[in-house]
């Protein structure tokens, strides 16, 4: 790793240029007939030569193993098939996030196609995550013979063990499992500790991926039993891959292996606009081009999530399963309203948090804020924004009458999961869990000072009293003429971008800013040029009021190195090359 930052960039970042083994790069170029740049990008993503074809053109046929590979799958699929054949009522419990909404919808749409009567329970945030007594009371009144939990249930021991006395229960989940499992009919979860590691990619799946594999297994059994006829043909399961892609991207799971195939194929299905609810939501969000992972993660996903944060959690599932255009339009409008409300609440809590942090000297290298009246549904988002603003671990707490609910986001070097476990053991919080970069927790109002001191000392020790600076990991270093159409076409072959497959970050050295002007809400359009008079259109989003923006707009004719993304700008049936500026530094 070549450290390019003797000094910080104008964006306050450390630049690290990744290196690849020259011999490996040359071998890959020769064996696969690809460019040096493409070989480097593949090596940086740890894509081995035998896997390149499947990575660049992912297909479910080669990426998805036999569903029976998963523990309890055959048992679960056979029971669901029995319920379908015998016209039994089936109840579904989901989660209130996008993965929960899409998981519930894929299973519900499949069962509805088979003629099954279903009941769905999506808990409101106040009800809490996972199965509840309220849900099972509803299912009892409904007369369900079988209950399926999706995106939850693996650790719901007490509630499921009790409910299993009156219901047959199948858990379809992807969350971390313990040594024990609920005492239910079947638990299908690739993270079961007794699951073999023959197909490690399965462990990366979102819950919606587990559900899709389950309906694939059920469909196979129904076919074998002669369930399908000319009057009731076998469904095309691929029609639901748009929902699988949406849930996979929004749950921020690694986009490799089977997940990469789910998203690649799912985006193709989504472009056909077959799902009425999804089509209506896309139209309401003013998405006019073919959706990609950006639209899923930052436009559609937040709208569905907003219902679980500040609105009615069931709206996501209802919209994605809707077959009535009027109902779909009403639900999409309602979703947009909740999303705007979420933005307003989030903005209010963020502004108050910044006032608290910047109005008081901070003892520890972290952002730690708590207040009464803050909506629990946005504290995780606000923690993430504080982390981005200050590049520090961030803790945001909403003080309620009975308890304090908190959410945290971290930076490299501070393991939040370990911090929360240690805090529980010390008795400075009542409960909590999470992983390295994100966590949720609960405590009493009286415990806040103790937890602040405990977390502060933990963070301080983890950072070793060093001032943390964000790091930009750069894939390629080029001169201006190297940033061309051919390279951009190769970069597009690496899509879909997401977790574990980020969009390549490109460094272009020794350029000047020409024809600079501000457009929209603080965006800067300009042209990158060099002494050989090469030119490349560029844009810097929302950077006009920053140090970066001041230098771009200064017209001082100084030479700079720039970091960003190389993309095609497709607009009004025209395609042009464009560089998206993230950061700059004076050229050495």
As a whole number of angstroms, the distance between CA 176 and CA 192 comes to: 7
Q: Tell me what pLDDT residue 570 has.
A: 85
**pLDDT score at 6:** 56
Question: Taking residues 24-42, what's their average pLDDT?
Answer: 93
Per-residue burial over 253-279, b = 16 or more CB atoms within 10 Å of its CB, e = otherwise: bbbbbbbbbbbbbbbebbeeeebbbbb
The structural domains of the chain, with segments of one domain joined by +, span: 2-18+475-586, 62-240, 344-463
Q: How confident is the model at residue 347 (pLDDT cuts 50, 70, 90)?
A: very high
DSSP assignment of 255-276, as one string? Answer: -STHHHHHHHHHHHHHHTT-SH
Q: Where are the beta strands (DSSP E) in 400-468?
A: 404-409, 431-434, 438-443
- Reported as a single tens digit per residue, the pLDDT across 142-189 is 999 899 999 999 989 999 999 999 999 999 999 888 899 999 999 999
Which structure tokens are listed for 561?
């190195």
What CATH number belongs to 2-18+475-586? 2.40.50.460
How does pLDDT run across 50-68, given as a tens digit for each residue?
999 999 999 999 999 999 9
Q: So what's the pLDDT on residue 287?
A: 93
Instruction: Please say whether the beta carbons of 152 and 93 come within 8 A.
Output: yes
**pLDDT digit string, tens, across residues 411-443:** 989 999 899 999 999 999 998 887 888 889 999
In this structure, whether the domain defined by 344-463 belongs to CATH 3.10.310.30 is answered with: yes
The confidence score (pLDDT) of residue 1 equals 40
pLDDT tens sequence across 241-264? 999 999 999 998 999 999 999 999
Helix/strand number for the chain, H first, E second: 21, 19
Taking residues 334-347, report their average pLDDT.
95
pTM, entire model: 0.91
Q: What confidence score (pLDDT) does residue 4 get?
A: 44
Query: What CATH class is the domain 62-240?
Result: alpha beta
- What does the pLDDT average to over 278-302? 95
Q: Which of 40-54, 75-89, 174-188 has the highest mean pLDDT?
A: 75-89
pLDDT digits 0-9 by tens, 384-393:
999 999 999 9
For the chain, the distance separating the N- and C-terminal CA atoms, rounded to the nearest angstrom, is 19
| Separation of alpha carbons 459 and 453, rounded Å | 10
Poorest-confidence range of 3-7, 85-89, 108-112?
3-7
Average pLDDT score over residue span 299-322: 94
């Amino acid at each position: 790793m070549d450290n390019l930052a003797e000094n910080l960039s104008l964006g306050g970042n450390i630049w690290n240029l990744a290196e690849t083994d020259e011999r490996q790069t040359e071998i890959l170029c020769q064996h696969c007939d690809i460019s040096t740049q493409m070989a480097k990008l593949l090596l940086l993503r740890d894509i081995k030569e035998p896997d390149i074809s499947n990575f660049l053109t992912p297909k479910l046929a080669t990426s998805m193993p036999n569903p029976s590979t998963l523990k309890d799958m055959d048992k679960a699929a056979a029971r669901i098939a029995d319920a379908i054949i015998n016209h039994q009522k089936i109840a579904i419990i989901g989660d209130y996030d996008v993965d929960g909404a899409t998981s519930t919808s894929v299973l519900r749409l499949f069962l509805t196609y088979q003629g099954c009567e279903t009941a769905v329970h999506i808990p409101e945030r106040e009800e809490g995550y996972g199965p509840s007594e309220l849900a099972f009371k509803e299912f009892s009144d409904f007369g369900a013979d079988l209950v399926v939990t999706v995106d939850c249930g693996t650790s719901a021991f007490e509630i499921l063990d009790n409910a299993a006395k009156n219901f047959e229960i199948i858990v379809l989940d992807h969350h971390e499992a313990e040594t024990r499992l609920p005492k239910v009919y079947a638990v299908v979860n690739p993270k079961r500790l007794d699951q073999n590691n023959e197909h490690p990619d399965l462990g990366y799946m979102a819950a919606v991926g587990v559900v899709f594999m389950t309906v694939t297994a059920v469909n196979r059994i129904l076919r074998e039993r002669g369930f399908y006829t000319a009057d009731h043909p076998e469904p095309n399961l691929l029609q639901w891959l748009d929902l699988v892609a949406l849930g996979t991207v929004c749950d921020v799971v690694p986009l490799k292996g089977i997940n990469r195939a789910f998203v690649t194929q799912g985006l193709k299905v989504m472009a056909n606009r077959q799902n009425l609810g999804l089509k209506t939501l896309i139209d309401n969000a003013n998405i006019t081009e073919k959706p990609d992972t950006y639209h899923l993660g930052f436009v559609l996903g937040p709208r569905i999530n907003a219902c679980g944060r500040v609105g009615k959690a069931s709206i996501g599932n209802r919209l994605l399963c809707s077959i009535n255009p009027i109902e779909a339009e009403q639900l999409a409008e309602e979703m947009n309203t909740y999303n705007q409300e979420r933005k307003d609440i989030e903005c209010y809590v963020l502004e108050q948090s910044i006032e608290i942090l910047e109005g008081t000297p901070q003892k520890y290298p972290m952002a730690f804020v708590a207040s009464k009246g803050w909506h629990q549904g946005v504290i995780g988002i606000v923690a993430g924004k504080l982390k981005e603003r200050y590049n520090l671990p961030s803790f945001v707490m909403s003080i309620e009458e009975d308890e304090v609910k908190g959410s945290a986001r971290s930076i490299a070097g501070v393991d939040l999961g370990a911090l929360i476990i240690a805090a529980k053991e010390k008795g400075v919080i009542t409960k909590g869990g999470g992983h390295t970069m994100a966590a949720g927790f609960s405590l009493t109002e009286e415990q806040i000072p103790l937890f602040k001191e405990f977390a502060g000392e933990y963070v301080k020790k983890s950072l070793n009293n060093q001032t943390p600076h964000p790091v930009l990991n750069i894939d390629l270093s080029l001169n201006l003429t190297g940033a061309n159409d051919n390279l951009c076409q190769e970069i597009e072959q690496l899509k879909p971008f997401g977790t574990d497959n980020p969009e390549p970050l490109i460094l272009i050295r020794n350029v000047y800013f020409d024809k600079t002007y501000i457009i929209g809400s603080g965006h800067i359009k300009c042209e990158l040029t060099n002494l050989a008079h090469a030119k490349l259109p560029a844009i810097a989003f929302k950077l006009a009021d920053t140090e970066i923006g001041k230098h771009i707009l200064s017209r001082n004719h100084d030479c700079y190195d720039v970091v960003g993304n190389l993309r095609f700008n497709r607009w009004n049936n025209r395609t042009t090359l464009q560089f998206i500026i993230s950061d700059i530094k004076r050229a050495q």
